[in-house]
Structure 1
Amino acid sequence: MILSRRSFMLGGAALAAVPAKVLAEQTEDGFTLLTMRPVDARLMESDRPATKLESLSGAWPPPVLRARQGEEFKVRFVNELDRPVALHWYGLRGPSDLMSISVAPGKDNAFDCVFMPPDAGTFWLSPVADVSRQREMGLYALVVVEERELAEKFAEIPLIFDDWQLTDDGQIDASTFGNLQDAIGQGRLGNWFTVNGAYRPKIDMSAGLVRLRILNAANVRTMAIVFKGADPLVIAEDGQPVPPRELSRQGLILAPGQRSDLLVGEGEETLTLAVNLFEDIIEAAYLNRRGASQPVALPDNFALPPNPISTDLDLDKARTVPLTLEGGEKGGMTGALYGGEKLDLRALLEKGMAWAINGTAGLAAQPWETFTEGESVVLDVDNRTKFDQPLHIHGHVWKIIEDQPQPWRDTVVIPAGAQAKLGFVADNPGEWGIQSAFAERVDSGLITSFEVTA
C-alpha cells in the first residue's frame, strides 16, 4: 500500500491548479454569494454550441463552496430565476431549519444561511424539490469543509462528475422532463459526460501528494470511476473519514450524491480518469502533473481525524421500525396514500407518483415517525422494488448493520429485492427527510420525513 511508505512529496501550493471561476463569490460582509440565474455553459467541445443551463452562482462551472469545521459559515442566496428553488445541504449536519431551505425569486427575497458545520469533509448543495429538472439543469455546488486541525497539508482537487441528456445541438433535452417511463424505470440517464462542468478537462495537479474530492452529481447514473497512472487510497466516504484502503478492481463506485476523498501519491505521470460503462470505458478527465515537489512526512497509521458524529449505537436498546420501499416498473405496488387519500396505481401515476415508502407516496402532512434525541434507531429496510435504491438521510449519518464493520455515511444503496438494517443515533433535533438519491424517484414519491424531539 502507498501509505506504508514513510515519506511523500507535496507540491508547494496549498491548492492544486483549478480554474478560478469555479470558486464562489465573496461579499464585503463575509458571505459567500450565490446568485441563481441562467448561464451558457461549454459542456461540449469549444466548436460546439453552448448549453443553456442554470447555475447557483450565476457562472459556470458549478461553484465550490468552502467552510471550516466548527467556524461560522455564511451563505447568501439570491434567486434570479422565474420560480422558487428548494435546496438541501446534503451530508451536512447543521440545524434543521437551515439544512433545507426555499429561496423565492427576486433580489428582495435574498436568504441568508448562517451556521457552523460540525463535520469536516466533502458535501454538496442541490435541489430537494423538482429535483429531476433542477439538478439536470446544473443547480448544484460542491461543499468543502476543511478540518479544524490537520497536521498534513495536502494539495487538493475537487472533481464533480455528471452526465447530461443532450440533443444534437448540445441543449438539455427538456422534452423528457416529467417522462413517466423515467419515473417508473431506470431514470434519466445522460448521453454526455463532464467533469467540473467541462468535457474531458485537462487539470493541473501537483507532482506531490494530492487529495481528490469526488462527487457524483448525476440524476441517476452510478459512476464507476477508474484511474490510470495512480493507485489512490480511499480516505473518506460521504465526508466521514475511513481507514485508508486501496480501491477495488472495479474502481470507485459512487451512487448519485455519494462522495469520496482519495489520496494520490507523488509521481510524474498524467492521471487519466475514466467512467466504466461496462460495455465501454469513456475517458472523462486528465490530471497533469505540474510543479516541483517537496518531501512531507506521513505516518504509517495515517487517517483523517474523526468527525464528532454519534457512534454509540446501542443495538440492545434500539427501536426497530420498518421502512418498506415499493413501486416502480414491475414492482407490484397496487396503490398508496397520497395527499392523505388512498389512491390506486393508475390514479397515482396520473399525479406523477410511482413510488412509496411505508405505503405513502411523497411527503405526508405529518412526519412518518418521531424519535427522541439520543435514541438509537434501526430501520428494517425492505426493498420490494426491482431496482437498487440509494437512500439518503438528512441531518444524520447511518450505517448498514452487518457482522463486518461498516462505514458511517449519509447515502447507502439497498440492492433490488433485498432487505437490510440501517442503524443511526437520532442526535439532531428537528424535522428531517429520508429520500431516494435518484432525482426522478424522489420527485415521484420516494421520500418521507421523521422528527427528532429534544
Structure 2
Amino acid sequence: MLTRRQFIQTTAIATTLTSLPAISVAMGSGPDYHYDLIAEESAISILPNTQTPAWTFNQQFPAPVIRAKQGQPLTIRFTNKLKEPTTIHWHGLRIPIAMDGVPFLSQPPIMPGETFTYQFTPPDAGTFWYHPHMNSVKQLGKGLVGVLIVDEAEKPEFDHDVVIGLKDWRLEDDGSFLPLSIPRYAARGGTLGNVKTVEGKIKPIFEIPAGGRVRARFANMDNTRTYNLSMKGFNATVIAEDGNAVATPYPLVDRKTGVGMRLDLGFIAPEEVGKEVIVYDKKGKLHFEIFRFKTVASTSKKIHRDIPVLPVNPIASVDIEQAEKLSFVFEWAGALSPTKKDGSVKHQFWTINKRAWKGMSANNLPEPLARLELGKTYLITLTNTTPHHHPIHLHGHTFTVLKSTKRDITPYHTDTILLAKNERAQIAFVADNPGQWMFHCHVIEHMKTGLMGFIDVT
C-alpha cells in the first residue's frame, strides 16, 4: 500500500509527463493494485493568478488516475476529510452492490474522518470514472471527479495513452465559486459552467509522439454540459464507447458525449514534429476549439499504418425472444415543487413514470422503479418527452442499445445513453448483477430534482 505522500508525488509527476507513452502508471506490487485516496478541501489554480477553494482527491486536480487491470483485484482505501458525509461511485463498472458507492442503497455514508476500503475485481476493460454520490451538485461541482482506467488483460500496443477529462467550473473572476445551481436552469437543460477546462486547464496542448499510435480517452465529468466532439476532418477512429470496445471501429465525424459518457479514439499522429491537431466542440455548422495535440520527436522507429482493435468485454448475451418488456418515460413536471415545513422549496422538476425522486435515508427507501429477476433479459423502451437532452445511466450493468427514433443504430454496449429531445430508444440487458441499482439522468441537477430511481435485481 502506497503512503499518501508517495501516491500524491507519483501521480503528480505522472500527469506532467505528457510526452511519455502514458500519463499514469499502475501503482502497487504483484497481481493486486492498491491506492490511497483522500477527499479534502484544497486551493487550486484554474483561472490565471487566482486560487479556487476546490474539493479534491489527494490535494490535486485533475485527480489521480486510478489504473487497474481487467480480472485483477483492485483496492482503494478512501478517507473522507471533508466536513460532510460522502461516498465514491465507480461509474460504469460492473461490481458488487456493496462497492457501488450509493449512500443508504449500497453502503452507509462515509462520515468526516472515516475511512472505507473499496475492493473489487473489474471484469471489463475500458475508460471509467469515479465521483461521490452525495450532495452531488456541490461535491462534483467543486472538483471531486477522477478517471479510472482498466487496462485490457492483454494490453493493445499504443505509443501514447492520454486521458482527456472534460469539466466546466462556475467561477467569479477572483476564482471563487458562483452558485453551482440556479433553479430556473435546473428546470431546463441545467446550469452550465462559465470556465471550460480540459484536465483542469483552459485550451491546453497535449504532446504526442510524431507518427505514433495514440489512444485518446475522453471522459465527460461535467455536471451539465454535452459535448459534440469533432476533429474536423482529421482521421480518427472510434474504438470504444463508454468503457466498451466497439466491435467494428468507425471513423469519427462528430459524436455527442453527454455527462458521464466516455469516448476512446485511436489515431496515427502526424509524422512532422510540431504539427498541431485541434479537437472541437461542434455546434451546428460551427466548431469551437477545446484543446490541441502537438507532435514532438519520438524515440520509436516504428512506422504505423493501422490502429489496434480492442477486445470486446464479456457482456452476457441478451435473449430478446424471452425478454420481459418494460417502459420508462422521462418527463418534465413543471414547477409543482413541494414546500418544506420551514417554508423553503424542495425543487422537483422531473419525473420517471410520473414519479419524482424524493430522496432516501437509512430508514426510508422509496419503492423501486421495477423489480427484476436475476438472470433474465429485459427489453426496455426509454422515452424522453422533454425538449432537453438526458444522459441516462444505469449502475451495475452494461446494456445494449438496439433502436432509436432519432438516429440509425448499430447495436452497441454502454452504461449511459444520451436521449435527445423527444427521442424513444430501445435497450436490452441481462439482469445478472443482484442488488438495488440507481437509474438516473446524469445531468446532476436533473437527478437531484426528480430524474432518478432504482431497480431491484433479485
Equivalent position amino acid for 2:326 in 1: V
TM-score, normalisation: structure 1: 0.84
1:112 deviates by 0.5
Give yes or no for contact 1:34–1:58 (8 Å, CA) kept in 2.
Answer: no
1:205 deviates by 1.4
Equivalent residue number for residue 296 of structure 2: 290
1:290 deviates by 1.9
* Cα root mean square deviation, aligned: 2.8
Instruction: State how far apart, in whole Å, the 1-side matches of 2:155 and 2:26 are.
Output: 26
Equivalent position amino acid for 1:93 in 2: R
Give yes or no for contact 1:183–1:328 (8 Å, CA) kept in 2.
Answer: no
Is 1:395 matched with 2:362? no
Equivalent residue number for residue 186 of structure 1: 189
Q: Deviations over 1:364-400 (max 9, x none)?
A: 5232222122111012222222222210011111133
1:451 deviates by 1.4
Equivalences for residues 76-91 of structure 1 within 5 A: 76-91=77-92
Equivalent residue number for residue 124 of structure 1: 129
CA pair 222-70 structure 1, distance change in 2 beyond 3 A: same
Unaligned runs of 5+ in 2: 1-13, 104-108, 360-364
Identity in percent = 29
The more displaced of 75-84 and 378-387 is 378-387
Equivalent residue number for residue 336 of structure 1: none
Instruction: State how far apart, in whole Å, the 2-side matches of 1:119 and 1:296 are.
Output: 30
Equivalent residue number for residue 219 of structure 1: 223
Equivalent residue number for residue 67 of structure 2: 66
1:88 deviates by 1.3
Instruction: State how far apart, in whole Å, the 2-side matches of 1:156 and 1:93 are.
Output: 23
Q: Deviations over 1:333-365 (max 9, x none)?
A: 8xxxxxxxxxx5555992222111122211552
Give yes or no for contact 2:167–2:198 (8 Å, CA) kept in 1.
Answer: yes
Is 1:438 matched with 2:437? no
Instruction: State how far apart, in whole Å, the 1-side matches of 2:409 and 2:287 are.
Output: 32
CA pair 274-62 structure 1, distance change in 2 beyond 3 A: farther
Give yes or no for contact 2:241–2:414 (8 Å, CA) kept in 1.
Answer: yes
Q: Deviations over 1:279-328 (max 9, x none)?
A: 8644332222123233267778x520111111x21121111112121225
Is 1:51 matched with 2:52? yes
Instruction: State how far apart, in whole Å, the 1-side matches of 2:26 and 2:378 are.
Output: 40
1:132 deviates by 1.8
Instruction: State how far apart, in whole Å, the 2-side matches of 1:24 and 1:145 are.
Output: 11
For 2:99, what is the secondary structure of its paired residue? helix
Give yes or no for contact 2:333–2:351 (8 Å, CA) kept in 1.
Answer: no
Instruction: State how far apart, in whole Å, the 2-side matches of 1:25 and 1:51 are.
Output: 29
Equivalent position amino acid for 1:36 in 2: A
The more displaced of 48-57 and 211-220 is 48-57
Equivalent residue number for residue 244 of structure 2: 240
CA pair 205-314 structure 1, distance change in 2 beyond 3 A: same
Is 1:411 matched with 2:416? yes
1:80 deviates by 0.8
Unaligned runs of 5+ in 1: 1-13, 334-343
1:116 deviates by 0.4
Equivalent residue number for residue 354 of structure 2: 359
Is 1:262 matched with 2:269? no
Equivalent residue number for residue 4 of structure 1: none
Instruction: State how far apart, in whole Å, the 1-side matches of 2:388 and 2:309 are.
Output: 35
Equivalent position amino acid for 1:161 in 2: L
Instruction: State how far apart, in whole Å, the 1-side matches of 2:323 and 2:262 are.
Output: 28
Equivalent position amino acid for 1:409 in 2: T
Is 1:197 matched with 2:203? no
Q: How many residues align?
A: 418
Give yes or no for contact 1:361–1:446 (8 Å, CA) kept in 2.
Answer: yes
Instruction: State how far apart, in whole Å, the 2-side matches of 1:278 and 1:304 are.
Output: 31
1:435 deviates by 0.6
For 2:301, what is the secondary structure of its paired residue? strand
Equivalent position amino acid for 1:167 in 2: E
1:240 deviates by 0.5
Equivalent position amino acid for 2:443 in 1: F
Give yes or no for contact 1:16–1:204 (8 Å, CA) kept in 2.
Answer: no
Give yes or no for contact 1:225–1:274 (8 Å, CA) kept in 2.
Answer: yes
Instruction: State how far apart, in whole Å, the 2-side matches of 1:277 and 1:99 are.
Output: 35
For 1:182, what is the secondary structure of its paired residue? helix
For 1:181, what is the secondary structure of its paired residue? helix
Give yes or no for contact 1:187–1:440 (8 Å, CA) kept in 2.
Answer: yes
Equivalent residue number for residue 455 of structure 2: 450
Equivalent residue number for residue 36 of structure 1: 39
Q: Deviations over 1:392-419 (max 9, x none)?
A: 0111111332285321111112222232
Q: Deviations over 1:64-96 (max 9, x none)?
A: 110000001110111111001133111000111
CA pair 137-215 structure 1, distance change in 2 beyond 3 A: same
Instruction: State how far apart, in whole Å, the 2-side matches of 1:365 and 1:60 are.
Output: 36
Equivalent residue number for residue 423 of structure 1: 428
For 1:408, what is the secondary structure of its paired residue? strand
For 2:219, what is the secondary structure of its paired residue? strand
1:277 deviates by 4.4
Instruction: State how far apart, in whole Å, the 2-side matches of 1:114 and 1:127 are.
Output: 16
RCO greater where, 1 or 2, for CA within 8 Å and sep 6 or more? 1
CA pair 346-85 structure 1, distance change in 2 beyond 3 A: closer
Give yes or no for contact 2:26–2:67 (8 Å, CA) kept in 1.
Answer: no
Give yes or no for contact 1:24–1:33 (8 Å, CA) kept in 2.
Answer: no
The structure whose residues are more often strand, as a share, is 1
The more displaced of 263-272 and 227-236 is 227-236
Match of 1:271 among 252, 277, 291: 277
TM-score, normalisation: structure 2: 0.84
Equivalent residue number for residue 372 of structure 1: 373
